[in-house]
Amino acid sequence: MNFKPLIPVEGQNHDSSPDNLDVLLSAFFRSEMPSRWPAFQRSEQQAVPAGRRRSFLKRSRLALAASLALLVGGYWVLSGAMPSQGPLIRLFKPEAKRPALQQHNNQSAVHDAPR
């Protein structure tokens, strides 16, 4: 079967008889239908297989463990490299905290005293 596409030509007698139209339409619609009819795809078939899911979990746990190790190791390395008398460190020393804490305790004692 062969269809000839034509550019409209004046006076030309085009054959669009019912038989021809049937043949043309049948061929067209058949060509449009999938040649291999697709099987139904259930959602669970599209889900990730269990094996792949497990390996993904394993990898993500490893990545988390490595990140934590890096964080702790980095902290130790940096704290060793920093001078111990730095201003930030001094702030967190017990002596640095004591006056403020004492002042606060004194104020609380005044407020809480029985009248």
Partner 1 sequence: MVETGNMNTSRPRVGRPQNSRHTDFEELYRQYSREVWAVAYARWMNADTATDIMQEAFLRLWKQWGQHEEIRNPRAWLMRVSRNLAEDHAKSAFHRNGTQPPQTMNGVRARGGQPLDSLERQETFGQLRKILWRMAPVDREILTLRYALDYETDEIAELLAINPTAVHMRLSRARQRLAERLKAEGIGQLT
Where on the chain is the footprint of partner 1 (CB under 8 A)?
A: 1-9, 12, 14-16, 18, 20-34, 37-38, 40-43
Measure Cα distances from 72 to 68, 81, 100 in Å: 6, 14, 31
Nearer to partner 1, 38 or 83 (CB): 38
Nearer to partner 1, 36 or 115 (CB): 36
Nearest distance from C-beta of residue 23 to partner 1, angstroms? 7
Residues in Cβ contact with 82 at an 8 Å cutoff, skipping those fewer than 6 apart: 89
Sign of CA dihedral 102, 108, 112, 113: positive
Nearer to partner 1, 26 or 55 (CB): 26
Measure Cα distances from 110 to 56, 100, 104 in Å: 60, 16, 10
Nearer to partner 1, 16 or 84 (CB): 16
Nearest distance from C-beta of residue 12 to partner 1, angstroms? 7
